[in-house]
């Protein structure tokens, strides 16, 4: 699994720039700057990122850091993991299909039983 870390807080600290100053320079809401600088943001607008990079005169790669959280897998291991995920999805899809078919068959049996009971009730009249 990979995770992207925002290094905006560290950059601001290195440049001795306050979050409010960056908010004033970029026109981005100070609360949003705070979330970005503290690494709490789950999403980052590309437009906001571009403005921040322009104001701080940095590249996107200086602000964003892609970190692998698990050890580097071999290419064969990657293929095996992907195929395992595909098998799991197919199995799940098959189970859903079988459950749907079972329910439809049960509904058909119930419908036939109901129709037979209606015919029987009519014939008694």
pLDDT at site 70: 63
pLDDT in tens, 105-121: 999 999 999 999 988 88
Output the furthest CA–CA distance in the chain (Å, rounded).
Answer: 94
Closest CA to 22 of 59, 61, 54: 54
The set of residues, in sequence order, having a beta carbon less than 8 Å from that of 29 and lying 6+ positions away, is 23
pLDDT in tens, 50-109: 999 999 999 999 999 888 776 555 666 777 888 888 888 888 888 888 899 999 999 999
pLDDT at site 75: 63
Whether residue 36 is predicted with pLDDT greater than 90 in this model: the reply is yes
pLDDT at site 123: 85
Q: State the pTM of this model.
A: 0.54
pLDDT at site 81: 81
Name the H helices within 1-125: 8-15, 19-26, 30-37, 46-56, 60-63, 75-124
């Amino acid at each position: 699994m990979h995770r992207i870390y925002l290094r905006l807080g560290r950059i601001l600290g290195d440049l001795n720039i306050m979050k409010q100053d960056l908010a004033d320079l970029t026109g981005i809401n100070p609360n949003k700057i705070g979330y970005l600088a503290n690494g709490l943001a789950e999403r980052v607008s590309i437009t906001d990122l571009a403005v921040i990079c322009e104001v701080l005169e940095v590249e996107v790669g200086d602000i964003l850091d892609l970190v692998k959280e698990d050890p580097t897998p071999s290419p064969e291991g990657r293929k095996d993991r992907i195929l395992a995920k595909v098998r799991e999805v197919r199995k799940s899809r098959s189970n859903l299909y079988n459950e749907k078919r079972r329910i439809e068959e049960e509904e058909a049996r119930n419908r036939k039983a109901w129709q037979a009971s209606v015919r029987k009730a009519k014939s008694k009249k």
